[in-house]
Amino acid sequence: MSIKPARTRVAPSPTGHMHLATARVALYDYLLAKRTGGQFILRIEDTDLKRTVPGAEQEIMDGLRWLGLEYDEGPDIGGKFGPYRQTERREIYQRHARILVDNGSAYPCFCAPDRLEKVRQEQMKRKENPRYDGTCRALDPDEAAKRMANGESYTIRFKMPREGVTVARDHLRGDITTENKQLNDYVLLKTDGLPTYHLAAIVDDHEMQITHVLRGSEWLGTFPLHVNIVRAFGWEEPAWVHLSVFLKPSGKGKLSKRDTSLAMKDGYSVFIKDMNELGYTPEGVNNWIALMGWGVAEDDVMTIEQMIERFTIDSLTPSPAAINFQKLDHFNATHIRLFTTEDLAARLKPYFTREGISADDSVLLKIVPLIRERLVTLDDCIQFGAFFFKDEVAPNPEDLVTKGLDAKQSAEVARRAYQILAAQPDLSHERCEPPMRAYVEESGYSAGQVFGILRVAVTGQKVSPPLFESMEVIGREKCLQRIKNAIEILEKM
Ligand code: GLU
């Protein structure tokens, strides 16, 4: 079966931090484009100048690249259908608004904002849905043209059909039928000559030859308007796919700003820019996002390549998806275990650098196999690996006193361990482990007690990667120095 190449686009507004929702649309867009041998496009929808935030566009581009979702066309790389920033496409929208006015599908509206507001208040009082009352819809076109020519300020409104129904087909929900009398004459072009989303997105999707529009289900409300606009131009419709909403982690209610700050307090985030800092990997994040609205098996661990192989829009689901950060941890940890040692070492290095630890590459390569199984996020490498690189460790004196023994007995264990290890030419784990185990036998103490003291002495902490393998990496001299130091601490207690 041959598949038609899809052209998909993510069309974020640069109005704040790049959110999971944008990443999810982009991921599905990317998968569909790659699956079908098509193109994935980034378009910046920046026509709401008041809401534009400086730096937000760059953050989107950086976020997509971090996720590995390279777009084929976009504002910074151009493409056949550019410009890809809507504020640079004003004339295109104005031209299209004129087409609709000329074919009777739209009209200029001269109503002043205060009159519109009054109408709205009255409608609310009557418990009606606020909508335009149609004053300028009834204007004689010649009269309207004259007023435009006189320089009066105006918007262009879409002339919604008033009778009958609009049937709009969503790929996941099927036909959605709306009575036209429920619909409103929405503004397409604002008084400043810039388009609203309704006009700009429809025109661009057509001009950029988009075949599949994937977007959030918050657009279902104005979906009938959008298909009416497409039809008024006489264009072919793209396939419309409205993705499910995100719910709070509890599953109760839509994700809110408050949930976002609560997540941050727990060390999580819904913003892509934070993911790297928190130690998440693009692989883990993509996998997590992929399954929030894609009905493959719950626990499917997939690389991007595997996702591309399996992706179809038919397997997307309209049911809401609760944000579950434990799943993010799960996918992140799972992908960390799949990286090669060299790859993981390179990814961990910046986290050590961030802590002021200069992690030598050859040591890093040795510790990766020791700590890998313990990492949920990449920055966990500090907790499990910083002691490898430090000149000294500073164990908590209480931790050196092992369970069931007092400080004196613990000091004796540490002294014996020192003697045994100092007698070895090197501290390879094959060499150290047997005599230490023999000592455990003869001492009558448990392995937990003896190795517990040794672990705290050489790593400075109670939880660490495998002890003897770790000592081998730390090296003879440093280990002996650290044990000596622990003995001194214990003797002073
Ligand atoms: N600019 C719109 C938004 O950020 C895009 C919606 C769409 O993808 O069409 O919500």
Whether the pLDDT of residue 3 is over 80: the answer is no
Q: Give residues with Cβ within 8 angstroms of 457, minimum separation 6.
A: 395, 400, 414, 417, 482, 483, 485, 486
Tell whether 167 is covered by a domain: yes
Of 371, 372, 346, the residue nearest 359 (C-alpha): 346
State whether 147 and 266 are in the same domain.
no
By residue range, what is the domain housing residue 228? 89-243
Tell whether 46 is covered by a domain: no
- The pLDDT score that the predictor gives to residue 296 is 82
State whether 178 and 267 are in the same domain.
no
- Which of 45, 48, 225 should be mutated for ligand 1, with most atoms under 8 A from CB? 45
Tell whether 427 is covered by a domain: yes
Q: Enter the tokens of residue 109.
A: 């509206």
pLDDT class of 76 with cuts at 50, 70, 90? very high
State whether 238 and 354 are in the same domain.
no
How many angstroms is it from 19 CA to the middle of ligand 1? 12
State whether 93 and 238 are in the same domain.
yes
Whether the pLDDT of residue 1 is over 70: the answer is no
Q: Which atom of ligand 1 is closest in space to residue 12's alpha carbon?
A: 4
Task: Give the type of residue at 365.
Answer: L
Whether residue 39 has its Cβ less than 6 Å from ligand 1: no
- Domain count of the chain? 4
Whether residue 201 has its Cβ less than 6 Å from ligand 1: yes
- Taking the C-alpha atoms of residue 62 and residue 272, their distance in angstroms, rounded to an integer, is 9
- The pLDDT score that the predictor gives to residue 129 is 86
Tell whether 285 is covered by a domain: yes
Task: Give the type of residue at 304.
Answer: I
- Taking the C-alpha atoms of residue 408 and residue 119, their distance in angstroms, rounded to an integer, is 87
Tell whether 27 is covered by a domain: no
Q: Among 353, 381, 409, where does a domain finish?
A: 381
- Taking the C-alpha atoms of residue 56 and residue 273, their distance in angstroms, rounded to an integer, is 11
pLDDT per residue over 99-127, tens digit each?
A: 999 999 999 999 999 999 999 999 999 99
Q: Which atom of ligand 1 is closest in space to residue 9's alpha carbon?
A: 8
pLDDT class of 383 with cuts at 50, 70, 90? very high
- Taking the C-alpha atoms of residue 220 and residue 347, their distance in angstroms, rounded to an integer, is 41
- Which of 7, 27, 208, 219 should be mutated for ligand 1, with most atoms under 8 A from CB? 219
- Taking the C-alpha atoms of residue 488 and residue 190, their distance in angstroms, rounded to an integer, is 78
- The pLDDT score that the predictor gives to residue 2 is 57
State whether 103 and 238 are in the same domain.
yes
Q: Among 202, 217, 243, where does a domain finish?
A: 243
Of 292, 310, 266, the residue nearest 24 (C-alpha): 292
Rounded to whole angstroms, what are the CA distances from 240 to 168, 266, 384?
9, 36, 48
pLDDT class of 246 with cuts at 50, 70, 90? confident
How many angstroms is it from 269 CA to the middle of ligand 1? 21
Q: Among 210, 243, 276, where does a domain finish?
A: 243
Q: How confident is the model over 38-45, as a mean pLDDT?
A: 98
* Protein residue with least CA distance to atom 9, ligand 1: 215
Q: What CATH number is attached to the domain comprising 235?
A: 3.40.50.620
Whether the pLDDT of residue 262 is over 60: the answer is yes
Tell whether 473 is covered by a domain: yes
Q: What CATH number is attached to the domain comprising 401?
A: 1.10.10.350
Omega before 83 within 30 of 0, i.e. cis = yes
Residues annotated as catalytic (active site), given as ranges: 257
State whether 111 and 227 are in the same domain.
yes
Whether the pLDDT of residue 249 is over 90: the answer is no
State whether 285 and 334 are in the same domain.
yes
Percent of the chain with pLDDT over 70: 99
Whether residue 46 has its Cβ less than 6 Å from ligand 1: no
Tell whether 130 is covered by a domain: yes
CB 158 within 8 A of CB 225: yes
Q: Enter the tokens of residue 381.
A: 């490498």
Q: Give residues with Cβ within 8 angstroms of 126, minimum separation 6.
A: none
- Taking the C-alpha atoms of residue 295 and residue 389, their distance in angstroms, rounded to an integer, is 45
CB atoms within 10 A of CB 247: 19
CB 194 within 8 A of CB 145: no
Tell whether 426 is covered by a domain: yes
Strands (DSSP E) along 302-437, which ranges?
321-322
Instruction: Give the DSSP H or E segment for 39.
Output: strand 39-42
Q: Which atom of ligand 1 is closest in space to residue 45's alpha carbon?
A: 1
pLDDT class of 359 with cuts at 50, 70, 90? very high
Q: How confident is the model over 35-40, as a mean pLDDT?
A: 98
- Taking the C-alpha atoms of residue 132 and residue 147, their distance in angstroms, rounded to an integer, is 20
CB 8 within 8 A of CB 212: yes
State whether 363 and 409 are in the same domain.
no
- Taking the C-alpha atoms of residue 328 and residue 333, their distance in angstroms, rounded to an integer, is 8
Lowest mean pLDDT among 208-222, 258-272, 411-425: 258-272
Lowest mean pLDDT among 42-51, 122-131, 228-237, 410-419: 122-131
Whether residue 45 has its Cβ less than 6 Å from ligand 1: yes
CB 18 within 8 A of CB 271: yes
pLDDT per residue over 12-21, tens digit each?
A: 999 999 999 9
The SS3 assignment for 246 reads: strand
Quickly tell me which residue has 């020791």 as its tokens: 370
Of 314, 457, 298, the residue nearest 392 (C-alpha): 457
31-33-34 Cα angle (round to 5): 65
Quickly tell me which residue has 């997307």 as its tokens: 316
Query: If you average pLDDT over every residue of the chain, what do you get?
Result: 95
State whether 230 and 315 are in the same domain.
no
How many angstroms is it from 13 CA to the middle of ligand 1? 7
State whether 174 and 98 are in the same domain.
yes
pLDDT per residue over 273-317, tens digit each?
A: 999 999 999 999 999 999 999 988 777 999 999 999 999 999 999
Q: Give residues with Cβ within 8 angstroms of 265, minimum separation 6.
A: none
How many angstroms is it from 9 CA to the middle of ligand 1? 10
Q: How confident is the model over 366-371, as a mean pLDDT?
A: 97
* Protein residue with least CA distance to atom 2, ligand 1: 12
pLDDT per residue over 327-338, tens digit each?
A: 999 999 999 999
State whether 350 and 477 are in the same domain.
no
Q: What CATH number is attached to the domain comprising 322?
A: 1.10.1160.10
State whether 236 and 345 are in the same domain.
no
Q: Give residues with Cβ within 8 angstroms of 146, minimum separation 6.
A: none
Q: pTM value?
A: 0.93
- The pLDDT score that the predictor gives to residue 47 is 93
